[in-house]
Structure 1
Amino acid sequence: MKTEHVMISISIAAALATLPSIALASTSNAALADLNTAEAPRVTQAVNSSVVSTLNNTHLAFLTNAAPAGQVEDSLPMNHMQLILQRSALRSSALQSLINAQHDPSSPKFHQWLSPDDFGATFGVADADIQAVKSWLATQGFTVNGVYPNKMQIDFSGNAGLVRQAFRTQENRYVVNNVTHIANASDISVPTALRNVVVGVAGLNDFRPQPLHVPPQVAQFDKSKNNFTLKQANASTAGKPGNPMVNFSGGVRGFVPYDMQTIYNVSPLYGKSLTGAGISIAVVEDQDMDPSDWPNFVKQFGLGQYGGTFKQYQPQLTPSTGNCTDPGGANAAGESIETVLDSEYSTAIAPGAHIWVATCADSDTANFFGGVYTAADNLINNSKAADRPNVISASYGYGEGFTDAASKSAIDLMWAQADAEGISVFVSSGDSGSNPSFNGGVINDVGVDANSFATSPNDTGVGGSDTADILDGTTSKYFNSKFNAVYGTAKSYVPEITWNTSCGNTVAAQKLVNLSALQFCKNALIYDPYGFYVTSESGSGGPSSVDIKPSWQRIVHGAAKDQSRDLPDVSLFGGSYGGYSWVILCTGSYPCTANFATPVELVAGTSLSSPMFAGIQALIDQGLSKAGLSPNQGNAAPTLYELARSEYGGPTGSTPATLSQCDSNNGTKGTSNCVFYNITEGGNSTQCIQVAELSQTTPDCYFYGTIQNYLQTYGPTKVGLTATSTTKYNSNTAAYAAQAGWSFANGLGTVNAKNLYAAWKSFVNAP
């Protein structure tokens, strides 16, 4: 071993000696013409595998005290891990300055977007440093599959034994929530000579994020009532947590594209021939859909006239690393509802757009975010401009508390690159209130967290709202009693509240029983002694514990006075209290038929909100392109906050009249000129638990009672509401209440698409 080490050191030292002392960025892009990011290689010593340094936070902290179920055998393949590289402070600062300029209409670099090669040459790691890392990986027995064009990540494969030897960490098995996972037991180590250029390895654990939608329901249309009857009633899932406490009798309703187009005032843009034509929206997934679903959806809801297109494929790098193969599921039996939802409801808003369903198999990679991450990463790094989308929607998530540092760095790197290339990225904020990691369950262990896939300052996080008409008793004012020719019933914009299915829904508590949410929850214990209806299902929002607040998030009334990147940025319809309102899907198992003669599938969640906002962005992109400007806008959030400041006012000083005029509660009264509908009622404070039998400790939870035998299985369990205080619960401590201006509940609120387009066009000085 010592002889091998000496030879490796000599060979790498010799290679370094032949390299130039300064690494020059080479590009012809005008945006980079006056930018000097030239620097010397930072690996300046021979790489000695016996002299190592530990990289902090490179294992999952929540597993630190967990007892492993056993060690992973050395022969276990670990394919397509990503070694994430660390750019220098000089290049990090230069990149941030450029992105700021790319979003500033007064800058000559405004909308001067980069290619992946430009990005890598100017802001990546020096070639000499990359070669040093590659050489070390090869000497450790790994196969290097390729270096990404961004020069920030190396795709490599091996097995658990090589990981143990090279990175000095043991891969173990852990059982969490009755599911067996693999993860490294400790932080990794790398040769000290490489420490300055290595962040860590993404792919040492398999805690996959989940799609952010509510379990779909199958429903049959009831012509006599003009609504739908659930064939899989919520009561059938008794014995599991997360069921709505209140089920509205007489059926449920299913929204269709026409309803979403009407509520958010999208339809007038179609009259201007803005349908998303020529704009590509990529939805990134880890499972296929039945390709017959999309044309069925387009036909059923009258969208074929707009000329949109659809393709489902596996995006590859050039040359290919082999890290993206077909995950399967392109049939009725195996398709992913998430994939169907994303493709159909991006089309619902932008029916003329090119819909790219980009899928990669989870099994191809050990990376934490699996095929979803790989699909997005490969799209963003594609060498051909025509093969890079204008817009990406990602509807998956997991909290930062469940994400290791290397995987988080990889996510943020990816979205920053997309932004610099002009790609607009929208990510669902989550479906479980103040912590996105408990979709379909109940918050425990950690009360406040944010979706690690969305907290980058270079994407736009989209939360979930609910129409207020059901609880307000105003449905006839905003909806017709009969379908139109494309099955729509919406008349106009509808007042909205935060989507929250729990007893923490302040609007439901007041409207239904005239109680506070806290008392509503206490009363619920009487009727639910085993906690079968305890739930955390709600649109998610919260502060990042990793990413700092970008300057543009500080400029609007209501902005949180913290140092964190906060979610969400905006919201759209995500679901309803009591499970009354859904959207209709056309799936392989339940294809849509004329007049809904056969059953359909209904679904909800912020997985709906994100692709719909991606559709709105596609309409804006097409309009600006027609005006002679770039069809790419990069991250939408900086512009959205600038426009919101005009309407809501800044963080200090007097507020403009439009802050109250654009309150969502006003409905259509006085809001015809509003860009944003400010949601000021409700909140996403939901239920949380602490199970004594499991020795849990759940922070950020105000406990109001005890379930004596939770789910008739777990024994005494404390139940509470998520809060920033454990000793008192009110509108100031609930995590989190809606408010005027920006809020953790709904961000800037929802939008009037027609007015948003006009304001955006003015902001970028479009002719």
Structure 2
Amino acid sequence: MSQNLRASSFFAVALALAGCGANGRVPPAGAGGRDTGAAQPATGAGEPTVTLTGNVHPLARAAFDQGAIDPETRVERLLLLLQSSPAQQAALDEVVDAQQDPNSPLYRHWLTPSEFGARFGADDEQLAQVTSWLTAQGFNVDEIAAGRRLVIFSGEAGQVFRAFNTELHRYRVDGGEHVANAEDPQIPAALAAVVEGVVSLHDFRRQSEIATRRPLDADPEYTAGSTHYLFPADFATIYDLNPLYGSGTDGAGVSIAIAGRSNISVSDVAKFRATAGLAPNSATVTLAGSDPGLVADDQEEATLDVEWSGAVAPAAAVQLVVASSTATTDGVDLAAAYIVNHAMAQVVSVSYGSCEQEMGASELAFYDGLWEQAASEGMSVFVASGDAGAAGCAAPTDTTGAGTAVNGLCSSPYSTCVGGTEFNEGKNAAQYWAAGNTVGYGSALRYISEQVWNESASNGGTGLWASGGGASVVYAQPAWQAAVSGASEANGMRAVPDVALAAADHDGYFMVEDGSYWIASGTSASAPAFAGLMALVNEKHGAAQGNANPELYSLANAPGKPFHLTPSGNNSVPGVAGFRAIGLDYNLATGLGSVDGALLAQEWGAGRTVAPVTPRRTGCVASDLFYLRCKPPLRPPVIGRGIGAR
């Protein structure tokens, strides 16, 4: 869709500013939490209500409104997000930090989903209160997540209106039709202490971060002229994985979960591995609900993620968790929740995104809470930073962006955000690439210097194709990040990406889909590849590692740092000035840079000197597009017109 439309919606909510709550989270303009207006007489049903502000999508605008949908329209697998008490949240934050502190008795003592739920989720009485209310509104309660922070429920559009006092409307945006709630939802005041909100009441989908995919000839003679495609053998040479493979470290005993919303053909994975000279190792597909089948675009995303996470960790158990999207819930959200609440893997990879400014308050809270739960369970989560450079709310195919933004699925400090680099051989390609291929079609000879991936129209390419990165407008900068040179450019806010790997079409990744050979690029490739690297680290150290960020940043100051600093480039795109790499330890386009895989595994744990405190909840700041409104503390409810009344 046109990002000009997206940008104008941001200015419509500009200049909103309110006080910060005790938790100090900083959602973007339009996000906020609870309505804190003065109490009013109840009308209609007369039940005191609380409005969950900041939960209308920016494109659900009157100018695009086509009217309410049929009240009998089915809305399946809605996610009701529950919140911990302040005491529970404080205790959880302490536990997750202690799990990363070598001096703590809780060091790497991971929780199970049920243990997490018992300590930090809703109790039996609260769950009974919530589920009884949902069933009284006519909904079916499909599942209570093991972590006790999510209730999955289904019903009809009319029931959504009666329960949450907001209609679902159709919106025509840039020629496409969407469904979204027209107003912020409301909940009974009696539930306000336990219900955070409905994660999503719209179908503006997460964006796949696969940049390009183009076909190859049937005969894979991939080293020709100045064109060099990445095969697993090339990746292993460039990022120094062969010493690990030679010593028997190949991901055996480690599991990697991929969040997807399309099934795949496992025969494609088998052909990919056979062509690349990898031993057979079939991926497992787990359905989190109904099978969506093979979904265009999402199939190539899931296939790429499965093939390349398993290419880097060739003996790891790769599991694709697939969930169908519904009229109001993204399959990526459902798949991610399933992975965490079923403890599916030690390493998680997600190649989708939505910019923070387009995510509602409940969506942001959902991912921050989910990734913190994942960290408490020992999971290391890797998320693609995006493919539109500094213009994170734009689509890479747009001709211009409109303001800086980052991916809200990876800006939480509990996920590792993976950006993109581009090999910079200059005029010396023969020093880095052989004239012919070895077994598995490898031709890379050594590490190749990298620059920021930028193939946008600002750098001689097209569109906005470049490494996503910038400063969050939601999360404060954790102490472990602030200590690294260059991170101060984020002005006290969480900076992303954290790390990067090759992502350019200049040297795209080989893949197989529908039995044919393709080349793919983007941070959709670098994220699963880094997940594979983490699987090697896990095997090398014999245990799950949880949130990788504290250790990664500690290694930036260690004597044997494993990072390849990015000396040049930027992620500026048409319409948006981005961020430069100038050789510091960190930059807002490629993070800490790419890694020497063998050195990363060897040095893991060597850089830690202090506990990794994550003080991310601080005060308000202003962005370059609009003032931000902090989430207010819970106050007495608004006595409104009553749930379902007009």
* Fold agreement, TM-score > 0.5: yes
Cα distance in 2 for residues equivalent to 1:362 and 1:742 = 37
Q: Does 1:198 align with 2:195?
A: yes
Match of 1:343 in 2: 306
Task: State the alpha-carbon separation in 2 of the partners of residues 564 and 65 from structure 1.
Answer: 33
Residue of structure 2 in register with 1:512 after alignment = none
Match of 1:453 in 2: 409
1:212 equivalent in alignment to 2:209: yes
Deviation (angstroms), 1:205:
0.5
Give the root-mean-square deviation of aligned CA atoms.
2.2
Task: Quote the Cα distance in structure 2 between the aligned partners of 1:406 and 1:423.
Answer: 22
Any idea what SS the aligned residue of 2:527 has? helix
Compute the displacement of 1:159 (Å).
1.3
CA gap 1:225/1:605 in 2 versus in 1, 3 angstroms? closer
Give the match for residue 98 of structure 1. 95
**Alignment partner, residue 435 of structure 1:** 391
> CA separation of 1:335/1:558 partners in 2, compared to 1, >3 Å: closer, same or farther?
closer
Stretches of structure 2 lacking an aligned partner (at least 5 in a row): 1-44, 610-646
Pairs within 5 Å for 1:123-522? 123-220=120-217, 226-227=223-224, 252-304=227-279, 308-315=281-288, 324-329=289-294, 336-363=299-326, 366-367=328-329, 370-382=330-342, 388-442=344-398, 446-469=402-425, 472-505=426-459
1:533-592 CA-partner distances (Å, limit 9, x unpaired): 7511111002222222222211111113523222100000011xxx432111122241xx
Hey, what does 2:475 align to over in structure 1?
A: 547
In the alignment, what sits opposite 1:752? 596
Q: Partners in 1 of 2:509 and 2:221 — Cα distance? A: 20
d(CA) in 2 for partners of 1:352, 1:280? 9
Distance 1:443 1:391 in 2: 35
State the distance in 2 between where 1:221 and 1:326 align: 31
With over 3 angstroms needed to count, the CA separation of the structure-2 counterparts of 1:161 and 1:496, relative to structure 1, is same
Q: CA deviation at 1:761?
A: 4.7
> How far has the Cα of 1:339 moved from its partner?
1.2
CA distance in 2, matches of 1:298, 1:281: 17
Do the aligned partners of 2:455 and 2:462 also contact (CA within 8 Å) in 1? no
Per-residue deviation, 1:621: 0.6
Task: Measure the CA separation in 1 of the matches of 2:515 and 2:566.
Answer: 36
> Counterpart amino acid of 2:601?
Y
Aligned partner letter, 2:259: V
1:402-441 per-residue CA deviation (whole Å, 9 max, x = no partner) reads 2111122111221111100001110000000013343332
In 1, Cα distance between equivalents of 2:401 and 2:568: 28
Contact 2:565 2:585 in 1 (8 A): yes
Equivalent of residue 574 in structure 1, options 503, 506, 525: 503
1:223 CA drift (Å): 9.0
> What is the rounded CA distance, in whole Å, between the counterparts of 2:112 and 2:371 in structure 1?
14
Task: Give the whole-Å Cα distance in 1 for the aligned partners of 2:551 and 2:63.
Answer: 44
1:251 is displaced (CA, Å) by 6.9
What is the SS of the residue equivalent to 1:438? coil
How far, CA to CA, are the matches of 2:298 and 2:100 in structure 1?
Answer: 38
- Distance across 2 between alignment mates of 1:751 and 1:215: 24
CA displacement, residues 164-188 of structure 1 (integer Å, 9 cap, x when unaligned)? 1211112111122322111111111
Partner of 2:50: 53
Displacement, 1:97? Answer: 0.7
Give the 3-state SS of the residue equivalent to 1:422 in structure 2.
coil
Question: Relative to 1, partners in 2 of residues 1:738 and 1:447: Cα closer, same or farther, differing over 3 Å?
Answer: farther
Question: For residues 677 and 140 of structure 1, what CA distance do their matches in structure 2 show?
Answer: 56
Give the length in aligned residue pairs: 564
Q: Percent identity?
A: 34
Please tell me the residue identity of whatever aligns with 1:380. V
How far apart are residue 446 of structure 1 and its match?
A: 3.8
Structure 2 match to 1:563: 492
Report SS of the residue matched to 2:320: strand
In the alignment, structure 1 residue 641 sits paired with structure 2 residue 556: no
Normalised TM-score (structure 1): 0.71
- What SS does the aligned partner of 2:588 have? coil
| Mapped partners of 1:461, 1:556: distance in 2 | 16
Cα distance in 1 between the residues matched to 2:316 and 2:448? 26
Q: Is the 8 A contact 2:50 2:192 kept in 1?
A: yes
SS where residue 604 of structure 2 aligns? helix
Mapped partners of 1:164, 1:745: distance in 2:
43
Helix, strand or coil at the partner of 2:229:
strand
Whole-angstrom CA distance in 2 between matches of 1:177 and 1:67: 9
Q: List aligned pairs for 1:586-625, cutoff 5 A.
A: 586-590=512-516, 600-625=517-542
Letter in 1 for 2:546: G
The one-letter code of the counterpart of 1:91 is Q
Contact (CA 8 Å) 1:432, 1:443: kept in 2 or not? no
Report the TM-score, using the length of structure 2 for normalisation: 0.83
User: Residue 490 and residue 136 in structure 1: after superposition, are their counterparts in 2 closer, same or farther (change >3 A)?
Assistant: same
Rounded to whole Å, the distance in 2 between the matches of 1:544 and 1:348 is 32
Do the aligned partners of 1:289 and 1:335 also contact (CA within 8 Å) in 2?
Answer: no
Rounded Cα–Cα distance in structure 1 between residues aligned with 2:299 and 2:222: 31
CA distance in 2, matches of 1:163, 1:427: 32
Q: Give the Cα–Cα distance (whole angstroms) in 2 for the partners of residues 679 and 401 of structure 1.
A: 28
Larger Rg, first or second structure (1 or 2): 1
Deviations 1:48-84 (A, max 9, x none): 8621121111212453454312221111111111111
| Structure 2: distance between partners of 1:480 and 1:684 | 30
Q: Per-residue CA shift, 1:447-473, capped at 9, x if unaligned?
A: 11111111111110000000001xx21
CA contact (8 A) 1:500 1:539 kept: yes
For the Cα contact (< 8 Å) 1:303–1:351, is it kept in 2?
yes
Work out the CA distance in 2 between the residues paired with 1:450 and 1:402: 10
1:712-743 per-residue CA deviation (whole Å, 9 max, x = no partner) reads: xxxxxxxxxx12xxxxxxxxxx4455541211
Amino acid at match of 2:322: T
Work out the CA distance in 2 between the residues paired with 1:435 and 1:569. 17
| 1:215-256 residue CA offsets vs partner (Å, 9 max, x unmatched) | 3111227899943xxxxxxxxxxxxxxxxxxxxxx6733211
Whichever residue aligns with residue 267 of structure 1, its letter is N
In 1, the alpha carbon distance for the partners of 2:243 and 2:455 equals 32
Matched, 1:681 2:568: yes
Classify 1:269/1:552 alpha carbon distance in 2 versus 1 (closer, same or farther; 3 Å).
same
Specify the code of the residue in structure 1 equivalent to 2:304: L
Structure 1 residues 355-396: Cα deviation after superposition (integer angstroms, max 9, x where no partner): 111111113x732xx2222122112112xx6xx211110101
Corresponding residue SS for 1:586: strand
Secondary structure of the corresponding residue to residue 519 of structure 2: strand
The answer to whether the 8 Å contact 2:551/2:608 transfers is no
Which structure is higher in RCO with an 8 Å CA cutoff and minimum separation 6? Answer: 2
- Structure 1: runs of 5+ lacking an equivalent: 1-47, 228-249, 316-323, 509-532, 591-599, 626-630, 648-672, 689-721, 724-733
CA contact (8 A) 2:283 2:318 kept: yes
Measure the CA separation in 2 of the matches of 1:400 and 1:491: 40
Structure having the larger proportion of residues in helix:
1
In 2 relative to 1, CA 606–445 (structure 1 residues): closer, same or farther, beyond 3 Å?
closer
Give the 3-state SS of the residue equivalent to 1:362 in structure 2.
coil
